[in-house]
Amino acid sequence: MQKHRRRVVGSALLVVALAALSLAGSAQAKLGGEFTKFANCPYTNATALKCIYSVTESGEVLLGSKKVPIEKPVVLQGAYASPVEEKEEAEFYPFLAATNGITLSKAPQNVPGGILGIVPEASSPFLVKALIKFFLENSLTGVNSTLELAKPASAIRISENNLAGEIGTALQMPVKVHLENPFLGKKCYVGSESSPITWNLTTGTTKPPAPNTPITGSGGEGELLESAKILKLNNNLLVDNSWSAPKAAGCGGILSFLVDPIINAQLGTTTAGHNTAKLKGTLYEASAFTVNKYDKEHP
């Protein structure tokens, strides 16, 4: 009897779960074609001007002496509202968070050399490279670095004219880097909400303090999709090598007073002029009105 009741309850829960999933699915299924990219855009928000979906597919983040290649895609999505300020002759738009809460996706990137930071020379034999990777980048000794927003999405600023015009700051984003490893605990961060890493990413040329030298991004190759309703920028390259980063903190749990200095020694100097961000990917943009209209016309 008890067993039967349990089975009934279990079946009911399964049905509810499936129903919930199908509802969630249908909410997104309305957007078709290239518009599916904007499923998490707050296009029904009256202040939303344009929906944005940007995938960083490659690039690197150099934090002090640690270079982390971007191997797993990172998605920035949401919308931006009417301009709030003018800077460098460009209008800066405030960001609106993605409706699913994932404005910036968390994609853990492997830190070459793991916790010991031993990276073989590029000219090292394959076997040496493989062995170092095996011993130093496994689940115990390996370190993942995850980029996270340090402040609410509303702190992000975007200038579409600078983005397309390859001048000035195109995307300003407060971020923090989450370093993950069983020994580092769950709260090992470089940057925080009160002391974020502020990236002023440009598609133009940077003016960094020494020892860094200017680097140049790219607006990417533009094309218009869906009868000029969607702008796609292929090979969009956003760069910044003028940013500074605070010291790592919270590493090693209760032993952070011991572990933080070790991590900071590994990172080396992280003041402005010693760090670089290069984010290469594809960017999609459409007016929130258009996405909303498409959604209504395709129930």
What does the binding site for other proteins look like in residue numbers (CB under 8 A)? 49-50, 160-161, 164-166, 218-225, 227-231, 233, 285-287, 289-290, 293
Is the separation of the CB atoms in 240 and 207 below 8 Å? no
In the complex, least distance from residue 298 CB atom to other proteins, rounded to whole angstroms: 15
Q: How many CA atoms lie within 13 A of 107 on its CB side?
A: 17
Q: Which is nearer to other proteins, 135 or 289 (CB)?
A: 289
CA distances from 166 to 69, 132, 159, 277 (A): 24, 40, 11, 16
Phi-psi region of 186 (alpha: psi -120 to 50; beta: other; left: phi over 0): alpha
In the complex, least distance from residue 227 CB atom to other proteins, rounded to whole angstroms: 5
Q: Which is nearer to other proteins, 141 or 235 (CB)?
A: 235
In the complex, least distance from residue 149 CB atom to other proteins, rounded to whole angstroms: 25
Q: Which residues pair with 277 in a beta bridge?
A: 61, 240
Q: Which is nearer to other proteins, 269 or 282 (CB)?
A: 282
Q: Which is nearer to other proteins, 137 or 295 (CB)?
A: 295
Q: How far apart are CA 154 and CA 157, in angstroms?
A: 8
In the complex, least distance from residue 28 CB atom to other proteins, rounded to whole angstroms: 21
DSSP codes, 165-224: HT-S-SEEEEEEEEEEBTTTBS--EES-SSS-EEEEEBSSB--PPTTS---B-B--EEEE
In the complex, least distance from residue 285 CB atom to other proteins, rounded to whole angstroms: 6
Q: Which residues contact 5 (CB under 8 A, 6 or more apart)?
A: none
Q: Which is nearer to other proteins, 71 or 221 (CB)?
A: 221
Q: Which is nearer to other proteins, 2 or 227 (CB)?
A: 227
In the complex, least distance from residue 293 CB atom to other proteins, rounded to whole angstroms: 7
Q: Is 246 exposed, middle or buried (0-12, 13-18, 19+ CB in 10 A)?
A: middle
In the complex, least distance from residue 233 CB atom to other proteins, rounded to whole angstroms: 7
CA distances from 36 to 40, 51, 284, 294, 298 (A): 9, 11, 11, 10, 12
Q: Which is nearer to other proteins, 213 or 234 (CB)?
A: 234
In the complex, least distance from residue 205 CB atom to other proteins, rounded to whole angstroms: 14
3-state secondary structure (DSSP) of residue 119:
coil
Q: Which of 269, 59, 263 is nearest to 179 (CA)?
A: 263
3-state secondary structure (DSSP) of residue 121:
coil
Is the separation of the CB atoms in 204 and 167 below 8 Å? yes
Q: Which is nearer to other proteins, 177 or 239 (CB)?
A: 239
